Chains A and B, each alone.
Chain A
């Protein structure tokens, strides 16, 4: 298990390196600079700004300085939010985005798994059909459609929740954003779980277990569940990526000051360092989650754990 962990961590480093380098050069090579949007800047002042931020140096020098800064945990200054460094902005936004994202994933997985089990066990019932319909909808209704629709339904028409705004620590503010992030994932997980459980329940070892006189409940919980969860766990990697992407939209719509919103603003404003910093952090999060998912998979499937091989 530890060997698997170590190997995966080592493998992530080159990937990270690629991300940083690619992002850096892509952004720097883009036409236009971070100060082009500022109206009416005299050429001299423009040049001053560039010099102050080190943008007049040869590009490799800039790259080197950036890498050096990264190792010290310094992502550079934000070009747009002039009073803050990117590190500070990340520090402010990360806990919020992380909290939102994790809550969404956990809720989505729990809900999806339970619905999937219910769907599989109530084979051919109207409940099963309902769950399947939900699963299909989840694929067709993405976060950025669900979010405003939820806000419309529950915020405007029913008035149960505030439409936007973010009071730190309030549950009600988090309800809609988490729901918008979680619903598409939950739908897919439900579908995955249902299919997987049905397939497992038809397998030989389940029939053997039944032939030994074990109760249906025991069979589902102790024998069928863990193998059936494997595809769901595999999906958690892409699911996290989807939630991270969705957070961009959800934070924008609900005005939540998380990393996602900063990234979008940074992209619109061509705030080099901000965009880069955010992308790197997002990439790290993705890699981290993929690693956790791998470990979880190993725990569920002894064949992987003992062999220590990659999937």
Chain B
């Protein structure tokens, strides 16, 4: 059952040199209890996509298309409607925990606030629930923490608090935007484990936005790969890693250093760069960097094809990755 259904979403900005399409026609579906990873490099549009869904874009952006949560249309909805959806049905965890909390309010005040606004809890009930939430995200000494200000907590703790805030009203969907990027590796593991638990016990649908394939592999059932504002491939996690079809995905996975690579082998990278903002991409945006590109790729835009495994490419790979690597060495 599809919970979040995004169709033909476009996000554009007007700049002096023309129009920039941060998101260029994206279809995305999320089912209840499913965890989907959205992987791409900086500027691929993965954050903009979900900011648009919640109406959190800058005033300078214009968005078109459709975003449905259940049977509620979110795109272009009045602010009063969006305010009942945000935090309550869809929660967002932002990237940088150091700046995500209001500095002059205590943790307790920020938690109680959300509970009182969305669930009309009284002060005592809100406090009790806040304690529960902190314990739920494994923050020890919860009573003390409620009284503290954000700057008194470490980055890892602050990130857990943002997760607690997100879960406070028991949303149906959680969008986590690079939740571990700003954290140490050891702390990362903790936060990921937390997300795994949450997914298990609540059947929460999670969107994990990341540029790190490793992180995505640990948590996601399905992965969508974005490039230049479009989704270029989407498949179940194991399928994607075993048999990446899109040349971009394949190149990305090959670029990840492996433990068994000889030390002196040069790092693989993808030549060229993604289209600059404002630059009009070729029909297939990846064509300038793709070894398999031909005239068709430059003139005809590839659409996402397939059912379980979807790819937008005129010349997708079919061979499993392992086989290809073995063949090369």
Is A in direct contact with B (CB under 8 Å) within the complex?
yes
B165 touches A223 (CB 8 A): no
Of A74-82, A140-148, A177-185, A298-306, which binds chain B? Answer: A298-306
User: Which A residues are CB-close (under 8 A) to B103?
Assistant: 205, 227, 301-303
B87 touches A212 (CB 8 A): yes
B100 touches A216 (CB 8 A): no
User: Which B residues are CB-close (under 8 A) to A223?
Assistant: 102, 105
B96–chain A nearest beta-carbon distance, Å: 6
With A213-B86, A213-B117 known as contacts, the answer to whether A204 contacts B96 (CB < 8 A) is yes
A205 touches B99 (CB 8 A): yes
Interface residues of A in 206-239 (CB under 8 A from B): 206-216, 218, 222-223, 226-227
Whole-angstrom distance between the alpha carbons of A180 and B113 in the complex? 43
The answer to whether B149 has its CB under 8 Å from any CB of chain A is yes
B223–chain A nearest beta-carbon distance, Å: 24
B56 touches A210 (CB 8 A): yes
User: Which B residues are CB-close (under 8 A) to A300?
Assistant: 104
B79 touches A216 (CB 8 A): yes
Whole-angstrom distance between the alpha carbons of A78 and B152 in the complex? 56
B56 touches A302 (CB 8 A): no
Whole-angstrom distance between the alpha carbons of A205 and B92 in the complex? 12
A214 touches B56 (CB 8 A): no
B149 touches A213 (CB 8 A): no
What mask results when residues 55 to 97 of chain B are scored 1 for a CB within 8 Å of chain A, else 0?
Answer: 0100100000000000000000001001111111001101010
Which of these, A209, A213, A215, contacts B102 with CB under 8 Å?
A209
Which of these, A206, A212, A218, A226, contacts B86 with CB under 8 Å?
A212
User: Which B residues are CB-close (under 8 A) to A39?
Assistant: none
A302 touches B151 (CB 8 A): yes
Interface residues of B in 95-140 (CB under 8 A from A): 96, 99-105, 113-114, 117-118
Interface residues of B in 189-205 (CB under 8 A from A): none
The answer to whether B54 has its CB under 8 Å from any CB of chain A is yes
User: Which A residues are CB-close (under 8 A) to B151?
Assistant: 302-303
The answer to whether A310 has its CB under 8 Å from any CB of chain B is no
Closest to B162 in A: A208
Interface residues of A in 196-210 (CB under 8 A from B): 203-210
User: Which B residues are CB-close (under 8 A) to A302?
Assistant: 103-104, 149, 151
User: Which B residues are CB-close (under 8 A) to A213?
Assistant: 82-88, 114, 117-118
Whole-angstrom distance between the alpha carbons of A211 and B85 in the complex? 9
Number of residues of chain B lying within 8 A (CB) of chain A: 31
A207 touches B149 (CB 8 A): no
Main secondary structure of the interface of A (DSSP, over half): helix
A215 touches B104 (CB 8 A): no
Most B CB atoms within 10 A — which of A207, A209, A211, A222?
A211
With A211-B86, A214-B83, A218-B117 known as contacts, the answer to whether A204 contacts B99 (CB < 8 A) is yes
Number of residues of chain A lying within 8 A (CB) of chain B: 25
A58–chain B nearest beta-carbon distance, Å: 57
A212 touches B104 (CB 8 A): no
Which of these, A208, A215, A222, A226, contacts B100 with CB under 8 Å?
A208
Most B CB atoms within 10 A — which of A204, A206, A306?
A204
Whole-angstrom distance between the alpha carbons of A223 and B99 in the complex? 13
Whole-angstrom distance between the alpha carbons of A208 and B113 in the complex? 13
Whole-angstrom distance between the alpha carbons of A214 and B112 in the complex? 12
Whole-angstrom distance between the alpha carbons of A123 and B58 in the complex? 13
B56 touches A207 (CB 8 A): yes
User: Which B residues are CB-close (under 8 A) to A211?
Assistant: 54, 56, 86-87, 91-92, 94
Which of these, B86, B91, B100, contacts A205 with CB under 8 Å?
B100
With A218-B117, A303-B149 known as contacts, the answer to whether A210 contacts B94 (CB < 8 A) is no
With A211-B54, A306-B149 known as contacts, the answer to whether A205 contacts B102 (CB < 8 A) is yes
B121–chain A nearest beta-carbon distance, Å: 15
Whole-angstrom distance between the alpha carbons of A223 and B104 in the complex? 8
Whole-angstrom distance between the alpha carbons of A208 and B94 in the complex? 7
A204 touches B113 (CB 8 A): no
User: Which B residues are CB-close (under 8 A) to A205?
Assistant: 99-103
Whole-angstrom distance between the alpha carbons of A206 and B99 in the complex? 9
B29–chain A nearest beta-carbon distance, Å: 22
Most B CB atoms within 10 A — which of A203, A207, A216?
A207
With A204-B94, A222-B113, A303-B151 known as contacts, the answer to whether A210 contacts B104 (CB < 8 A) is no
User: Which A residues are CB-close (under 8 A) to B87?
Assistant: 211-214
Closest to A205 in B: B102
Whole-angstrom distance between the alpha carbons of A104 and B84 in the complex? 43
B126–chain A nearest beta-carbon distance, Å: 14
Whole-angstrom distance between the alpha carbons of A214 and B152 in the complex? 24
With A206-B102, A223-B105, A302-B104 known, 8 other A-B pairs at CB within 8 A are A204-B96, A205-B100, A210-B56, A211-B86, A213-B87, A215-B83, A216-B79, A301-B103
Which residues of chain A have a CB within 8 Å of any CB of chain B? 123, 203-216, 218, 222-223, 226-227, 300-303, 306
A-B contact pairs, 20 of them (CB 8 A): A123-B59, A207-B94, A208-B101, A208-B162, A210-B56, A211-B56, A211-B87, A211-B91, A212-B165, A213-B85, A214-B87, A223-B102, A223-B105, A227-B103, A300-B104, A302-B151, A303-B103, A303-B149, A303-B151, A306-B149
